[in-house]
Amino acid sequence: MKTLRYLLLALLIAAPALPAGAADWVLIANPKAGIGHLSQDDVTNIYLGRYRRLASGLTAEPIDLPGDSLLKARFYRQLVDKNLAEINAYWARLVFSGKTRPPRVVASEEDAVQFVARNLDALAYVDKSMVDARVSVVFSMSE
């Protein structure tokens, strides 16, 4: 048990230093959309509703996973260092004014991949292993 705790502590400390290396997810887009590469700020702004328009003038629609998804929690933790409760609270204030919406939620990673494959402006985060030819990786935390 003791050994395990130390390991966890070591991981926690090492986590910010190895954000990309430790990340097992990637952000995917429709390859046809022509989105080259996104920065972490871009990803943050798009997912948290600051803007949905990319520099290329394309609109981007972020796809989110359901609230009980472990990946979702990992994604937000690694992206903006927030837990899901904080993210939900954030959205609760904005939803109230009705001007900005939170990202569309799909049921699973698979659905997310399909949605991206079908919609040109969609963006989604999925496990690395889910990436296939239908989608292209535009951002990865390892970078």
Partner 1 sequence: MLAWERTSWSNGIVFRSLAAVALITMLLGGISSFVIRAQVVTRDHQAAQQRLSELLDTVESTASVATFANDDQLAREVVQGLLRSSEVLRVVIYSGEIELARAERSVDANAIQPTVLRPLFSPFKKGQVIGRIRLDANWDEISRRVAANSRNAVLVLFGQLLLVIAGTAGMVFLVVVRPIKATSDRLHRLDPANGGALEVPEGHARTEIGRLVGDINELTGRLLSTLNQERELREQQEISQRKYQNLFDHASSGIFVADKNGKLASYNPAFVKLTWLPRSATSQLHWLTDTGWDNSEKLLELLGRSADQQIACAGDFLLRGRRGDERWLHIAVLPLGDGSMQGTVTDVTERKRDEISARRLAVTDSLTGFANREGLLQAFAGLNAKESEALTVIMVDLEGFKQLNDAKGFHVGDQLLLGVAGRIREGGQAFDFLSRIGGDAFVLVVSGLSDQEALRPRVEALHEQLRDPYVVDQESIQIGVRIGIAFFPGDGVDMPQLLRGAELALNFVRESNRSAGFLAYKFFEPQLQVVVEHRRRLEDELRVAVNCGELRLAFQPIVDLNTGTLAGAEALLRWQHAERGFISPDVFIPLAERVGLIGEIGRRVLDEACRQVAEWRRDGLDIYVSVNVSVCQIPDDLSPEIILSMLDRHGLPPQAVAIEITEGVLMSDVSIAQRWIEQLRAAGLRIYLDDFGTGYSSLSYLKRFPMDTVKIDKSFIVDMNSSNSDCTLVETIITMAGSLGLNVVAEGIEEASQLALLRRLGCGYGQGYFFSRPVFADDFVAIARRINSESGNFGA
Binding site for partner 1 (CB under 8 A): 41, 44, 48-51, 80-82, 90, 93-94, 96-100
81/143 with CB nearer partner 1? 81
Least distance from partner 1 to the Cβ atom of residue 110, Å: 28
Least distance from partner 1 to the Cβ atom of residue 138, Å: 19
74/82 with CB nearer partner 1? 82
Return the H-helix or E-strand segment holding 28.
strand 25-29
Closest CA to 62 of 26, 97, 105, 100: 105
Least distance from partner 1 to the Cβ atom of residue 139, Å: 15
The DSSP annotation for 62-98 comes to EEE--TT-HHHHHHHHHHHS--HHHHHHHHHHHHHHT
